[in-house]
């Protein structure tokens, strides 16, 4: 599961839907994997305004990754002389190439743990929890 | 021929053998690829987008989303949801680029509001109509799904769901559930009144009928 996806994922339980603590989910015993992919600068530009930067910062801290800038990088910071900037490359590495291979994702509200195996998170809920 | 969804829930129907057959049958692959291309055409995405693939299965549609050329507005980044772990295992084997969740779309769509530019679904949402137990109804599952999908799309976002309605009643059950969730909705039929008719539910967030072909 890419860190990009984690920035959009919430607890699946109905009772957590409107609770602020149900996002972001918190990684636990996470094994990270780095997989190189082609950079898609336009996608980075498109998704940037939709990222929850506070959640991104929380996540990198919890995973022990380098600290992020205090604010979401601006559009202008993504390119220098028409080429992807270092900032854009760093975002690509963080969002698109870094993924949780195994571990758990924990809801901050109900404390339900979603298991991640082979990069796939299990969001199936037993019927009493739906 | 009996329809698989009449007999079994999808997580039981698509066991390992079925999942493999589904992924390797070239006839199924071609039909699925055609329908994915058609759905992409209806979505009309101009730029690399963030797409939810509902019932992503073994990633056949996802590969197409990842492979859209730059001059055609791609490539897109996708997240898939599927209830069948055997199907997802096939996707892993094929090394697809998208992220996947093992999840039941009838339990909702666990993403924060406005996450996706678009959503696509190929041959999946009719499964929502079979509720296996007495405490879950098709109406309840459809509501959870469409409410969640609506919220997860950004304003102006679109979804195209190709599906196989069992009959006219199921078809309107599904489209009415989408409309109730707030979507502007239309149904588009390719090859109507033939055996190979394809039904697409075309949905938009914050817009009226997008196909001009409401039925
Ligand atoms: Zn929760």
Coil vs helix vs strand at A111: coil
CA–CA gap between residue A121 and residue A103 (Å, rounded):
9
Q: Is the pLDDT of residue B215 over 60?
A: no
Q: Which residues of B touch A9 (CB under 8 A)?
A: 101, 110-112
Q: Which two tokens stand for residue A128?
A: 């009493």
Q: Per the CB < 8 Å rule, is A8 touching B111?
A: yes
| pLDDT one-digit tens code per residue, A8-41 | 999 999 999 889 999 999 999 999 999 999 999 9
The total of structural domains in chain A comes to 1
Q: Residue B74 and residue B68: Cα distance in Å, rounded?
A: 5
Query: Where residue A53 sits, what CATH number does that domain have?
Result: 2.20.25.10
**A/B interface, count of CB pairs below 8 Å:** 87
Strand pairing class (B198-204; A120-122): unpaired
Say yes or no to pLDDT of B20 above 90. Answer: no
What pLDDT digit, counting tens, does each position of A68-121 carry?
Answer: 999 999 999 999 998 999 999 999 999 999 999 999 999 999 999 999 999 999
Which of these, B182, B141, B153, B176, lies nearest to B43 by C-alpha position? B153
Q: What is the ipTM of this complex?
A: 0.97
For A3, the closest chain B residue by CA position comes to B99
Residue B13 has pLDDT above 90, yes or no: no
Interface contact flag, A121 B115, Cβ < 8 Å: no
Q: Work out whether the CA dihedral B176, B178, B184, B185 comes out positive or negative.
A: negative
Output the pLDDT for position B213.
42
At B69 the pLDDT is: 96
Q: Do B112 and A10 touch (CB under 8 A)?
A: yes
Interface of A with B in 27-46 (CB under 8 A): 37, 40, 42-43, 46
Domain range holding A52?
A: 3-129
Q: Which of A44-48, B5-9, B140-144 has the lowest mean pLDDT?
A: B5-9
Distance of CA B70 to the CA centre of its chain: 24
A119 touches chain B (CB under 8 A): yes
Looking at the complex, does the CB of residue A67 fall below 8 Å from at least one CB of chain B?
no
Q: Which chain A residues touch B108 with a CB distance below 8 Å?
A: 12, 14, 130
Question: How far apart, in Å, are the Cα atoms of A24 and each of A27, A65, A96, B123, B142?
Answer: 9, 16, 18, 31, 26
């Amino acid at each position: 599961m890419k860190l990009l996806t984690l920035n959009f994922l919430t607890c699946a339980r109905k009772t957590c839907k409107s609770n602020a603590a149900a996002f972001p989910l918190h990684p636990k015993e996470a094994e990270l994997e780095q997989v190189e992919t082609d950079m898609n600068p336009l996608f980075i530009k498109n998704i940037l305004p939709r990222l929850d930067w506070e959640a991104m910062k929380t996540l990198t801290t919890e995973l022990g990754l380098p600290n992020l800038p205090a604010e979401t990088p601006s559009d202008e910071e993504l390119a220098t002389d028409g080429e992807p900037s270092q900032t854009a490359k760093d975002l690509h590495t963080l969002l698109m190439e870094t993924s949780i291979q195994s571990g758990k994702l924990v809801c901050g509200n109900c404390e339900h743990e979603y298991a991640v195996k082979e990069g796939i998170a299990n969001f199936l809920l037993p019927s009493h929890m739906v | 021929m009996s329809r698989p969804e009449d007999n079994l829930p999808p997580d039981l129907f698509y066991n390992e053998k079925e999942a493999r057959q589904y992924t390797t049958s070239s006839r199924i692959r071609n039909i699925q690829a055609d329908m994915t291309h058609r759905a992409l055409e209806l979505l009309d995405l101009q730029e690399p987008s963030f797409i939810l693939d509902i019932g992503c299965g073994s990633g056949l549609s996802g590969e197409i989303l990842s492979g859209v050329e730059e001059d055609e507005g791609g490539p897109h980044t996708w997240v898939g949801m599927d209830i069948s772990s055997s199907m997802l295992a096939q996707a892993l084997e094929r090394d697809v680029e998208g992220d996947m969740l093992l999840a039941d779309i009838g339990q909702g769509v666990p993403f924060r509001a406005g996450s996706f530019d678009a959503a696509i679904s190929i041959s999946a949402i009719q499964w929502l109509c079979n509720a296996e137990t007495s405490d879950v109804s098709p109406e309840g599952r459809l509501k959870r799904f469409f409410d969640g999908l609506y919220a997860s799309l950004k304003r102006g976002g679109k979804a195209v769901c190709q599906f196989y309605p069992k009959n006219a009643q199921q078809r309107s059950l599904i489209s009415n559930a989408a409309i109730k969730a707030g979507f502007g909705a239309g149904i588009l039929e390719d090859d109507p009144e033939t055996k190979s008719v394809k039904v697409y539910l075309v949905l938009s967030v914050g817009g009226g009928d997008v196909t001009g072909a409401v039925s």
